[in-house]
Structure 1
Amino acid sequence: MNAIIKTLAPATEIFPLADLYLSTLNPRQEHDSEGIALMADSLVACGLMQNLGGLRDEDGRIGIVYGGRRLAALRLAVERRPDLAFVPVRIAPDAETALAWATAENTAREALHPADEIRAYGRMAETGAGISAIAAAFAVTEAHVRRRLKLATLPGPVLDALRAGEISYGHATLFTLCNDEVRALSVLDELRGRQMSEHGLRQLLQSGSIRPTDRRVRFVTLEAYEAAGGAVTRDLFSQDVFVEDAGLLDDLFAAKLAEAAEAAQAEGWKWAETYTEGSIGYYQLEESDFARLYPEEGELTEDETNEYDELAQLAEAEALDEAETERLAELQDMLDGGYTEGQRALSGVMVYVNGQGVLSRAEGLVLPEDKPAAIEAGFLRASVHATRDTGDDEEVSDAPKSPYSGALVQDMKAVRLAAVQTALLAKPELVLDLLAFGLSMASGVSTTVFDLTPGRPTNRPTKTEGLVENDRLNHPPAAHEAWSRPELKVDDLAEAFRSFSTKGKKTRNAAITEGIARTLPYGAGGGEFFALIEADSGASIRKVWTPTAENFFNRVSGGYLDDLFSDLLDLSGTDLRLKGFRAKKKADKAASMERLFSDAEYQAVQGVTADQKARIDAWVPDCL
């Protein structure tokens, strides 16, 4: 189209109407039937006053490149005026000139409908015309041509619907997201006659498609998926890409994960398996039959500790050279310790891919059949709270060697009791049901549901930081304090009762609720019964307690904190965040964990997602 159009005067010839047809070079392929009928009336009355323009084809027939509406009107008018059966046509000397005529004739008139534009640009592109040539021919920008050409490969019915006003141009662009013509036409049928947002249409067209942010795609990589022959759809109007072959993606995902499991088992673990469903955290492990071993922490000599501290200070100042960096990493590895050969021989590893598509592992998992050997080797401890009968005269524990001290466990029991008692304050009917049950024969002769004595069960941990105490539970002082605090002694019970009874039923019921709630001891009526009260009251430890460095994190090992930080944030062993966390001193780790649980700014810096935030907000230690 950049060549100069020939200036020789084209010949005008007379052709039978039957030898004329609408050329594909003519941009206007659709005509208003009412307008054509009116033009036919004009031709009958006045005859043809303006010639048509056309190009002779190989069969000698003439393709009309301008005057298409007149051609359509002539076919109607000839029934009333037979002399119109022979038509004067201006013949173009070549296709290039014909295309120029078609363009000039039609762009000088009213703007083409977008559907006609799309088809016209597409036909020109098929003949080899470039973007610049099409833009020059239609007097539009190249960007405009590119946008229209993106729609040129849409199924014909979609463009027909656009031409008929059944869908908007925005709707039409969304059909480029679907490579499946059958599905596209099915969605088009569903769209007809309905008011549907572009967002709703996008959802319909993309159902079943997978985004590159999917953890499977991130792990396999989009490049590897496409190299394996996987189909993708690229949104021509944005940067979005969609993976179409879920089956192939799953196969590639499983194969790559299996390779990672083989590599893990080669490290000396007794077994290695894959977990394809998603992340494995504390909650999944708690619900399984696995026991879990913890890595043995390493120890540094006094000289190594001093060296470590000096290098850590240089690292914070970003003043380490290459040799010092390597030495710090070596000392950190020594300090981190790890799983021993013996631990690996009795436990395994579960390989999975976290929500960010990063390969991760849950290590030190002990199968039920390996627990006796792990106990004998000293890796697990026997527990009176979780045992099973082996058929012999010995009991085997399902509990791992606990990372929690006895004092920490007792504090967590007090926190749990405080959570249940606090929840009961809002459940007076449940409290009265429990009281009636405990006082009736329905609970059995010797069952103790409440401790109805002057003493009170311990619902206050030794470390009260992070605990939201409820004044209504009125935690009692030590017994000897009652003698030195007048407000805790009643000299005239009769007078006290008269005063109390005049306050009405609301005060009485509140006092019963508070008093009975205070007397509920930890583990009342056995573990299952206490758990039932806990569930029915809607109690939650995290409603009354938030872990802090003082009340929890400083009281567990550094290795435990490493595992917890990794699990909560779905981190792999190579993640820089985890490496930075492991490089900290124990006190700094505890402080960072406190911030992770309570500091929104720190959570943002760590890239905490909504799912991870929910996990952090719900987390409680597995020591109860």
Structure 2
Amino acid sequence: MRAPLAPLRFNPERNTSMTAQSLIAESADLIPFADLYLSHLNPRRIVSEPGLETLAQNIRELGLIQNLAGLRDETGRVGIVAGGRRLRAFALLQDDPRFQVIPVRLAPDEATAVVWASTENHHREQPHPADEIREYGALAARGIAVPAIALAFGVTDKHVQRRLALAHLPEPVIQGVRDDQISLGQAAAFTISTDERVSLEVLARVRGTAVSDWQIKRWLKPDSVRGSDRRAIYVGRDAYLAAGGRLGGDLFTDEDLFDTPDALDRAFEAEARRAAQGWAWAEISLADYLTPNEIERWQGGRLYPVPGELTDEQVARYDKLAELANGDVLDEEGQAELDALTEVAEGAYTPEQKAHAGIVLRVDHRGEVRVHDGIVRPEDYEVAVAAGVLAPSCHGSASSPPPKPAVSAALAEDLQRVARGARQTAILAHPDLLLDLLAFQLSGRLGYRHAFGLRTTEVRTQPLSETGYHLDERLIVAPETPKGPWASDFAKAFRAYRKQGVEGVRADLVRGLAALLDVEDDGLGRLIDKEAKADLRQVWTPTAENFFARVGGPTLDALWCELLDLAPEHPTATSFAKLKKREKAERLEQLFADPRTVRGVTEAQAVRIAKWRPDGMA
């Protein structure tokens, strides 16, 4: 069976000059797929499986454009020397009768087959990206859909979409890519522009330079706000568009560009004011963080939510749910109920309070609203006091001059010391309260403040190499800290903390004190290790990285002999000594990881390996 084709035949024995007369038109033989196999001459041995599926789909839809080439062997079968990917793709198409017989151009001899196998891929030139951009653009202009273009070229839809985005650039930009004056990445930055004049001005600045994509985008749209901006996240696309904003796209980073910053600011303020409804006033801060001093400039006084009251049944239910939550066994429904009870207990602002106070809102870097509420401005201070929503300050009104101290600083310090002594005397009768408070501080819930005159320092337990090191999870998890480490309601937090019960408090106390354990005296340290049954190997296993690669070769030789009961002249010992240090370290790591994988290790030796510690370590 013959299929018409006009390929070229080259027989080096017959004509080595490759003249025009040697380019003889040939045809392809139709060979059953079952008689084809991949020849050992074919240089392409590894291929991408997803790529094969794409190629098979391309052939199924468009047919075979370029024939395979092969050499018939003595059994009559044909080994494919050029077209190995196409042969593998045909294997995926054997459910289609059209592809059960394949056109193959046959080499007259092995010498020709070798040349075909070697030259097919080397002389295949990939199209320049600019030419590909123009070609995709021309096909799209003729109405060819993106999936059809992707199928024809064996690429993804996303690849085609990005090339088509480049196809809409001004022609000088595409030509700049063709002339290798700008990179593809630089050209991609131009896709955000809708002003050709600006694009050409920026193009003139970047030709032949290494200007970053980011800088090009800033020149093209200096006022645009990225979709990852905290204001954009908070406002959202819909509210921004409703405020008259325009969206620009950056297909190459899958990110929106908010091209109308004024509209974004209007939408941002409108959304924030909706969150501030009910208060006498609201300030919207465009900063993502406010210091305490910045908040105080608004503040003449501060109101706090009126605590709610739980019934006896609600208190019992709260305690039960809190216990389940501490045990990590509370489901979503129970968590929602616990949150609702917590909200009731924490209380809320009354309408009267809101009528005399306001809030300061900001949006943090994650796009989440942060509220500083219950703030009474200095000019509203007297009215709030008269209305009974704010207790008069013992220091006078916010607008009055500071009163003269009634006592000297020295006397005030003495009185503070007396009060501190009275508190210490009283708490001697309440050891549980004392331990609860210590656990509360050690748990991190006091933030940057303290309840005891203890100053803790970090006790380092993390080695430079953490491989083979498995510390107890309780010593790794960071302590829980309040959202505002300086300005939280710690009395309220401590009351809630004590409700978790003795076990929870004791767990924090144990974890906190254990993390600070750092015994300096060797004798005392040995006693503690004996009483607690401390075991270095329980948390640490020597590996090449954390130990063996960090000691000398002779040390490794001696350790190998020690663990396996070998004399230095034993063949196993001498063979080990001849290894490179890296290989020795790897052998020892394998020995410690699982002694059973090393041939000849006895039970006694395995026990010795499990108990081994570096010199001087308990």
Give TM-score, length-normalised by structure 1: 0.42
Q: Which has the higher contact order (CA 8 A, sep 6+)?
A: 1
Give TM-score, length-normalised by structure 2: 0.43
